[in-house]
Chains A and B, each alone.
Chain A
Amino acid sequence: MSNESNELVVKSAPHITGTMSKTRLMQYTFAALIAITIITAILWWPVMCPTSAQVSTLHLKNVWALPLGSLVLINALIAIGVAVGIDVLFNKLVSDSEKNYWSSAVFGLIVTLSFSLGIPAMAQATDVMPIDTLTAPTAFIYVALIALIGQVVFKKVGGIGGRKYVNPAAAAKFLVLLPFIGSIFLTADHYAAFTSGGLGVPSLAGPIGGGTLAINGNGLGSFLGYLQSCFANPNATTYPSLSSLMILEKFHGWTGGASSIAVIIVGISLFVLARKYMKWRVTLAYFASIAVMSLVFSMVYADSDLMTRLLFEVFIGSSIFLGFFMATDPATTPFTGAGQIIFGIGLGILTILIQTYMNFFGGSLLALLIMNLTVPLLDRVGIHKPFGR
């Protein structure tokens, strides 16, 4: 035997390491996200997108009618394929590039689950809403685009400086959907009544209520009625209660938020499984601040019931999914426990403010990007004193 092979390995202590690795952490996260993807696909399978009624009333052309659940699975395949494919390509081109296929696959699923699908019932009354992106095949193109831009610009190039500053999926989605900014920030179209070609969205910056009628001249139908027509199964003849929609099953909006209860169960399971590796403080602070802000606004604007605003703000897909799976992205969140709590609170406050005053439902995405940029500052907060000092 050669001399070299008998050399002892000398390295610094410790000489054993824990079982958790980056790859395993990514596998756990992937498993959680795949569970949510499958649950959503099953829940959404019975609904066609678009429904035959929507095809005729909306005069849809060049739209493929597919089971809504199949769109979820196809999106997942596309996003994972693009993300992992680019990773493979990068590894071929740049020899010292870090192999990170599981991380790419997780990113692909985040893109899939943060993408909105499903034409809401209320859209049938108007053609203002940008419906294309909610259906095949346009949705597929957008998902591929978001995965591509997210992987190249925000994951690969953004990671060169050693640290990613914004959540890649959120940043890419925001960038790709920027052309729709008019209809996202859309105040004018939002408030206009169906009859004058608007969406008839009640403003959150005023009293909202649980009644079926307009309140205090807010004008355009009650918020409860709006939410029901937004999230209910478009085939349904009667609307379920708001709490069952928001908590159990929605048929429009962020794919990952279709079933809030599924996200909560899967999310908490992941937190328990990978205990100290997950930034659960962000999630906790985020939902606590959303709940408090909703109740405060509810009182400030004298809502006729406290629950509608609370249910909407907490359980809208963009809050529930983002709160568990995007706001906790380790790379773009603070190091210290106090920093994470401030991050979560700030994210909650911004989300509510954006949804209330910009009428941008799904405003958590913009809030997250803003909060991500504060992380270098928040990393200086909450440096606790060591033992005995």
Chain B
Amino acid sequence: MNIMANLVEIKEHKDIARTKPIEVSPDPKTAIVLTYQHTGAVNKPLVSVGDIVAMGQKIADSKERVSAPVHSPISGKVVKIGDIYNSCYSECSEAIWIENDGKKTKDKTLTPISESELKNTANDVLLKRIREAGIIGLGGAGFPTSIKLAVPADKPIKTLIVNAAEGEPYDTADERLMIERTENLVRGVRVIRKLLGNPKVIVATKVSKVEAVPKLQAAFGKEPDTEVVAKHLTYQQGDASVLQKAILKYEAPPGKRSYEMGTIVQNVATINAIANAVFEGEPLISRVTTLNGDIAEPKNLQVKIGTPISEILAQNKVDTSDIRQVVIGGVMMGNALPTIEAPVTKRTSSIIVFSKSKYKPDQPTTACIHCSNCIQSCPVRLHPIMIYNAIMKGDFAKAEKLWVKDCIACGTCSYVCPSKLPLSGIICASRH
């Protein structure tokens, strides 16, 4: 029943940031590259302390299938291998410290493939390129893209949905890519279409992206079998499965790989990275991230992966003594950093700073009043309060019966709760 899925409007907070062109940030003095940034098997370093590395050189990888390598974002010397806070997992994990030598020596392992060559390039070659470039889902999931796009021949893909919704409040990095790198996105989509056997393409975006929509329409309008759909979409519809329903009107069963239903949803930031890897021979060593929140000048920055957050804040004149909270990867689903020394990862879609001076104390957490709004508001129709109650009683069997594993961690239940219960936090924590 479709009426059951009520979608809650959440204020976008994007007015200023969405108008700010992407600025290229200076390279870090010391890059701290986490070896494990994707979802899947853990990487092992390929370099040792004292090694000299080139910009774009692969420095950690795994032999397991579901993995993606990481590369040095700068040229320089490996000075340390140790643990640091990893915002992808909210815990410390292994990282490689590289001291910048300022030479920008480039690694030339990945050779550019020209657009005219694309037609005659085997899919295996393209998938290998995507893997070797370290590309993972940049929308937040972090799943290795080469695995996602390696669709079995007996599962034809009918539709490719380009996720241009960017649901997270404050985040505008994807929106700026749509405005400034439109042609790059078009050629990235061409690569994916080739890999998937030329499915129909639907670019799904929001009407509120007033500058991006006409650019997308102009650029994708010339492409075959491609449609730009600009709709009013809520925050929750930025999730791949919820977006798929908004566009194609069907619900993908949870737990099934998306290709089994004949649809692939791909985020614009990932498509941008694919285009860079294939046509420029550039591994994933930088990304666009939004710096927003309680700061004077919200910005969209192209930053090197491995740049310490503290360096970005200093460069953009954010008063660190007034910082109360720094949230990485979206205020609804992201993680709050325990330290600003943590580095940018492939999944750092935004850096949202909340200050002490503008902080308004939250309402205290109180007992549930049974308003049942969390149940009415869950975009995947779970019963958050019932799951929460079961978990608090330690009854995990009941939580499982209530499909706790289907939670998409969107945070809407906590957002609407008038008693300010940490519904989403407890439910997500219980799944580990």
Interface-forming stretch among B117-125, B297-305, B318-326? B318-326
> Are B336 and A9 interface neighbours, CB within 8 A?
yes
> Are B254 and A22 interface neighbours, CB within 8 A?
no
For the complex, is A12 an interface residue (Cβ under 8 Å from B)? yes
- Residue numbers in B under 8 Å from A163 (CB-CB): 370
Complex Cα–Cα for A221 and B337 (A):
78
> Are B354 and A276 interface neighbours, CB within 8 A?
no
Interface-forming stretch among A122-130, A193-201, A255-263, A327-335? A327-335
At the interface, is chain B mostly helix, strand, loop or mixed? loop
> Are A337 and B376 interface neighbours, CB within 8 A?
yes
Count CB-based A-B contacts (< 8 Å).
167
> Are A386 and B418 interface neighbours, CB within 8 A?
no
- Residue numbers in B under 8 Å from A13 (CB-CB): 327, 330-336, 409, 411, 414, 424-425, 428
> Are A14 and B331 interface neighbours, CB within 8 A?
yes
For the complex, is B153 an interface residue (Cβ under 8 Å from A)? no
> Are A276 and B336 interface neighbours, CB within 8 A?
no
Complex Cα–Cα for A279 and B376 (A):
11
> Are A14 and B418 interface neighbours, CB within 8 A?
no
> Are A330 and B371 interface neighbours, CB within 8 A?
yes
Per the 8 Å Cβ criterion, residues 13-53 of A in contact with B are 13-18, 20-25
* Interface size, B (range): 35 or more
- Residue numbers in A under 8 Å from B379 (CB-CB): 387
How many residues on A have C-beta within 8 angstroms of the other chain's C-beta atoms?
45
For the complex, is A389 an interface residue (Cβ under 8 Å from B)? yes
B142 to chain A, nearest CB (A): 16
> Are B327 and A15 interface neighbours, CB within 8 A?
yes
Among B336, B366, B367, contact of A11 (Cβ-Cβ < 8 Å): B336
For the complex, is A98 an interface residue (Cβ under 8 Å from B)? yes
Among A1, A14, A330, contact of B415 (Cβ-Cβ < 8 Å): A14
- Residue numbers in A under 8 Å from B420 (CB-CB): 17, 21
Among A1, A11, A159, contact of B425 (Cβ-Cβ < 8 Å): A11
- Residue numbers in B under 8 Å from A92 (CB-CB): none
> Are B415 and A383 interface neighbours, CB within 8 A?
no
B106 to chain A, nearest CB (A): 36
For the complex, is B89 an interface residue (Cβ under 8 Å from A)? no
For the complex, is A385 an interface residue (Cβ under 8 Å from B)? yes
Interface-forming stretch among B15-23, B42-50, B381-389? B381-389
Complex Cα–Cα for A333 and B370 (A):
8
- Residue numbers in B under 8 Å from A334 (CB-CB): 372
Q: Looking at A6, A14, A22, A340, which has the most chain B CB atoms within 10 Å of its CB?
A: A14
For the complex, is B207 an interface residue (Cβ under 8 Å from A)? no
Complex Cα–Cα for A10 and B379 (A):
26
Known: A1-B321, A277-B371, A384-B1. A15 touches B352 (CB 8 A): yes
> Are A389 and B406 interface neighbours, CB within 8 A?
yes
Complex Cα–Cα for A387 and B240 (A):
13
For the complex, is A8 an interface residue (Cβ under 8 Å from B)? yes
Q: Looking at A21, A279, A335, A379, which has the most chain B CB atoms within 10 Å of its CB?
A: A335
Complex Cα–Cα for A42 and B419 (A):
36
> Are A18 and B375 interface neighbours, CB within 8 A?
no
> Are A8 and B323 interface neighbours, CB within 8 A?
yes
> Are B336 and A10 interface neighbours, CB within 8 A?
yes
A122 to chain B, nearest CB (A): 41
Per the 8 Å Cβ criterion, residues 361-383 of B in contact with A are 362-363, 366-367, 369-373, 375-383
User: Top 10 closest A-B pairs, CB basis?
Assistant: A12-B425, A14-B411, A387-B380, A388-B251, A21-B363, A388-B253, A9-B325, A14-B332, A15-B331, A330-B370
Please give the residue numbers on chain A whose beta carbons come within 8 Å of chain B beta carbons, in ascending order.
1, 6, 8-18, 20-25, 98, 100, 159, 162-163, 276-279, 330-337, 340, 379, 383-389
Please give the residue numbers on chain B whose beta carbons come within 8 Å of chain A beta carbons, in ascending order.
1, 4-6, 8, 10, 169, 241-242, 245, 251-254, 321, 323-327, 330-340, 352, 354, 362-363, 366-367, 369-373, 375-383, 385-386, 402-403, 406, 409, 411, 414-420, 422, 424-426, 428-429
6 residue pairs bridging A and B, Cβ less than 8 Å apart: A10-B337, A22-B369, A334-B372, A388-B241, A388-B251, A388-B252
Known: A8-B326, A16-B415. 15 other contacts (CB 8 A): A8-B336, A8-B339, A11-B425, A13-B428, A15-B332, A17-B363, A17-B417, A18-B10, A279-B372, A334-B372, A336-B375, A336-B383, A386-B381, A387-B245, A388-B241
